[in-house]
């Protein structure tokens, strides 16, 4: 089963890290990604641009409302994601706990809805 691991972190705290600290965290991400790829569990993933680049779209009463910034005001912002393959939720949460940003932020684990065609591919 595929799981989306949504990586939330406080962007100002991330920006306050030194370049050396960020590079160390990136190294940890690469090691985890490489391990998951070797085991056939890593589907894809990416870091997102800062929240200042976000645009939100809503349709209300037939009118499109486009606003700058993320949809919700929160303490933590969505900063990236991993899409993984895991046997079950326990395995997915175990992988999520190994994501470096779990130490300072939150990793939301969500199973994907897979159609029969996707599941057999």
Domains delineated in the chain: 2-120 (3.30.70.1060)
pLDDT digits 0-9 by tens, 74-100: 678 889 999 999 999 999 999 999 999
Its pTM stands at 0.84
Q: Which two tokens stand for residue 68?
A: 């700058």
Write b or e for each residue in 34-44: b if 16 or more Cβ atoms lie within 10 A of its Cβ, otherwise e. Answer: eebeeeebbee
- How does the average pLDDT of the chain come out, rounded? 89
- Percent of the residues in the chain that have a pLDDT greater than 90, as a whole number: 68
The Cα-based distances of 109 to 58, 68, 116 in angstroms read 25, 26, 22
pLDDT for residue 118? 61
pLDDT digits 0-9 by tens, 31-58: 999 999 999 999 999 999 988 888 888 8
What is the longest distance spanned by two Cα atoms in the chain? 49
């Amino acid at each position: 089963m595929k799981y989306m691991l949504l990586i939330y972190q406080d962007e100002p705290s991330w920006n306050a890290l030194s370049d050396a600290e960020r590079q160390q965290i990136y190294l940890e991400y690469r090691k985890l990604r490489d391990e998951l790829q070797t085991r056939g569990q890593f589907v894809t993933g990416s870091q997102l641009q800062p929240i200042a680049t976000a645009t939100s779209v809503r349709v209300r009463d037939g009118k499109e409302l486009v606003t700058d910034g993320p949809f919700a005001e929160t303490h933590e912002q969505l900063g990236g994601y991993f899409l993984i393959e895991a046997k079950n939720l326990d395995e997915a949460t175990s992988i999520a706990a190994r994501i470096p940003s779990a130490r300072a932020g939150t990793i939301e684990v969500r199973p994907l809805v897979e159609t029969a065609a996707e599941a057999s591919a």
